[in-house]
Structure 1
Amino acid sequence: MSYLPLTADFRSIILGDIPLIDVRAPVEFARGAFPGAVNLPLMNDEERRLVGTCYTHEGHEAAVALGHRLVNAQVRAPRIDAWAQFTRTHENALLYCFRGGMRSQISQQWLFDHHGIVIPRLEGGYKALRRYLLEQLEQEIPAHFAARALPLVLAGRTGTGKTILIRQMEHAIDLEDIAHHRGSAFGRYLTPQPSQIDFENRLAWKLIQLLHRQPGQVIFEDESQAVGAVNIPAPFFEVLKNAARVVVESSLEERIERTVQEYVTESQQRYAESGDLDCQRWKTWMHANFHRIRKRLGMERYGRVAEAFDRAMVSQEAIGIPAAHREWVRIMLSEYYDPMYDYQMERAASRVLFRGPAEQVLEFLAMSAQQRHHTRVLPC
């Protein structure tokens, strides 16, 4: 083989959002990949399975020979063309396989032999970059925050619009967006959440980029460790749990209106766009959500909420607006979410720096960011 360039400058890859070709099989890619990576496999799942079985029973040389028979000249041609097309539109692209070994070397060589294209591969492959991201997320970034006490957590009762504020801030990390889940019993989207590995990769990627651009104050929304089906890694969650808090406040009526908008109107719209024009699938999904938390609600309250929801649906179907949903939302906020929030905030009361409505919170955070900008210690 001719000279095949390597790179292990993982930080530059992340900061530059360098395009990545993942030549692993689709089943490997589905378990976890990197933000922006595209899966253009050297072998499909069945070819990979056959080669793996051969390796187990007959050894390395037999497996390599089988791989070349399966991915013969006719099979490989469109795969090489796909790599070439990607590199022509992404001139700084890199490629990787699992360990940066034979599959990525073969892909490099074929690209050069057939198209004269030289593309670097990741040294150590997916496994090495994944290890780098985990080290950042579990060790380096928590140490950075612990030494400088820079993170702030935006807290507030359900319906105060914390996510709306987070999305207005350049120096914030939207954990719910990364997790693709609103973080509550009703927070699931129609499309699935990322895998735990993908969630960790995306979170580390965004944190590295943000801390490079904004080494001062960083804002996070108050979350439990589990955001839907994914979990914030324990070392990083400890940072969030112990961080100072800024609390956004809003009246119960405002919170009810906002919650109806987010969890009824917008949620129904997403279902309608998927073909559920009469809300039947949405109704079934909502009933399943209520049933899932029935023990925490208590059976008496669960019955009241379910009945209020059914009455709201009858009303909405009759008059065409979701106004009646305020009843069950009021019960959920005042009798379920608020007591949980009060308990959690009692434990964090000593770490609250400021309380106020959204406009005042934004002003406080802007002033705080300016003060930290002038007094921060830059990272090495």
Structure 2
Amino acid sequence: MRENTDDYRSLFLTGVPMMDVRAPIEFAKGAFPEVVNQPLMDDEERRKVGTCYKEHGQAAAIALGHKLVNGELKEARVAAWKAFVEANPNGYLYCFRGGLRSQLVQQWLAEAGVQYPRIIGGYKAMRRFLIDSLEETVRDCPLRLVAGLTGTGKTEIIAALDNSLDLEGHAHHRGSSFGRHATPQPGQIDFENRLAIEALKVRAQGASVLVLEDEGRMVGSRTVPLELFRAMQDAPLVWLDDTLENRVTRILEDYVIDMRAEFAEQHAHAEDPELAFQAFSQYLQGSLLRIRKRLGGERFQELDELMRQALDSQQRSGNVQAHRGWIEGLLRDYYDPMYAYQREAKEERVVFAGDKEAVIGYLSETGRQ
């Protein structure tokens, strides 16, 4: 049998398969990417055992656990664990602290003829490791932030570099009033875990500088970890430039074409084929409504009417080009003045400015220094 392990760094760097035997409610509060939840106890069973532990102690709680998970139910859960083991012979299992639950799963698997290692310290220790490793990365690695007007393609810069951290990707949000996706954002802990794992991998590849997009503290409803956000406040900025026409085209692709496809996929099995387009329309109109006060009533009405006309044209003919009207107006009247103000306030931190190719070249060279 392979040994139990507490080499958390290796586990995350190599992407070893892991089976989480915590209850579903624990898993939902925070987990690691690609991990499979195969619980020893469901939420109600865990609640009963926890109450018993508080009132009568460990021995009574263990006895109750064996009573609750027995017979056919126990057989079904052992079968699920064995299926995971067979599919992932190089993996590991863990519970919250690497204690009783994971040891019991190991025992029941062994009784079924299967030897499988567990992670010492469990989820709690691995989570602590990721928090500490991200803070260490922030202390040790200088940052460079990609800034620029809306639609210049900052996310494309992040994707093109091998020494970058994708805040928006891990938060599953584009960081603006139109930034949400058809599917929900991950939980805060999941966001932090994914970000820390990416930072761990980037550093392991030898990166001496980390590149991120210039973001506020919140990315949608997710919060950038405090130590990282503090470091971002003083980091040098690299300003990305592009033409208004290209920016409108990029916004059209991201917020209209791609989002329409997301809602179509989400409603692929709906009985009413119009539901997807209705949801997409509500997304666009709701996003504009959220910045109504900052736009002002008159300009909001103008852009809202342009958007409604574009949606009507898209629904009737499939043509998306009419959306360029409200997109250009939104950039000119809302986003550009806001970003121009931010650029002025941060001017002394800007160390380079250029188009996509120039910025990628600069950051690639900086990352090798």
Question: Please, what TM-score do these two structures have when normalized by structure 2?
Answer: 0.93
Confirm or deny: 8 A CA contact 1:4 1:108 kept in the other structure.
no
Match of 1:268, SS state, is helix
Distance 1:232 1:123, change over 3 A: same
**Per-residue Cα deviation, 1:233-254 (whole angstroms, up to 9, x for no partner):** 1111122222112111011121
Query: Which ranges in structure 2 are unaligned for 5 or more consecutive residues?
Result: none
Confirm or deny: 8 A CA contact 1:178 1:203 kept in the other structure.
yes
1:140 equivalenced with 2:132 (yes/no): no
Match of 2:34, SS state, is coil
2:40 to 21, 39, 42: 42
**Per-residue Cα deviation, 1:73-132 (whole angstroms, up to 9, x for no partner):** 321122122222222232221111111111011011111121231x22222211111111
2:25 to 17, 21, 27: 27
> What is the alpha-carbon distance in structure 2 between the residues aligned to residue 214 and residue 194 of structure 1?
28
Distance 1:249 1:40, change over 3 A: same
Confirm or deny: 8 A CA contact 1:172 1:219 kept in the other structure.
yes
Match of 1:246, SS state, is strand
Match of 1:42, SS state, is coil
Match of 2:339, SS state, is helix
> What is the alpha-carbon distance in structure 2 between the residues aligned to residue 170 and residue 349 of structure 1?
27
| Paired positions, count | 363
Match of 1:330, SS state, is helix
1:127 equivalenced with 2:119 (yes/no): no
Which structure 2 residues correspond to residues 226-245 of structure 1 after superposition, within 5 A? 226-245=218-237
1:197 equivalenced with 2:189 (yes/no): yes
Confirm or deny: 8 A CA contact 2:163 2:202 kept in the other structure.
yes
1:81 equivalenced with 2:73 (yes/no): no
Match of 1:355, SS state, is strand
Instruction: Note the C-alpha offset of 1:71.
Output: 0.5
Confirm or deny: 8 A CA contact 2:95 2:123 kept in the other structure.
yes
Which structure 2 residues correspond to residues 212-227 of structure 1 after superposition, within 5 A? 212-227=204-219
1:111 equivalenced with 2:98 (yes/no): no
Give structure 1 regions of 4+ aligned residues with deviation exceeding 6 angstroms.
none
The residue type paired with residue 362 of structure 2 is F
1:271 equivalenced with 2:268 (yes/no): no
Confirm or deny: 8 A CA contact 1:43 1:71 kept in the other structure.
yes
Give the structure 1 partner of residue 50 of structure 2: 52
Confirm or deny: 8 A CA contact 2:130 2:193 kept in the other structure.
yes
Distance 1:82 1:296, change over 3 A: same
Confirm or deny: 8 A CA contact 2:163 2:207 kept in the other structure.
no
Confirm or deny: 8 A CA contact 1:4 1:105 kept in the other structure.
no
2:349 to 336, 343, 351: 351
1:184 equivalenced with 2:176 (yes/no): yes
> What is the alpha-carbon distance in structure 1 between the residues aligned to residue 356 and residue 172 of structure 2?
24
Question: Please, what TM-score do these two structures have when normalized by structure 1?
Answer: 0.90
Give the structure 2 partner of residue 10 of structure 1: 8
Instruction: Note the C-alpha offset of 1:39.
Output: 0.4
Q: CA RMSD in A?
A: 1.9
> What is the alpha-carbon distance in structure 1 between the residues aligned to residue 265 and residue 153 of structure 2?
24
The residue type paired with residue 299 of structure 1 is G
Give the structure 2 partner of residue 377 of structure 1: none
> What is the alpha-carbon distance in structure 2 between the residues aligned to residue 72 and residue 180 of structure 1?
40
Distance 1:317 1:90, change over 3 A: closer
Instruction: Note the C-alpha offset of 1:194.
Output: 0.7
Match of 1:335, SS state, is helix
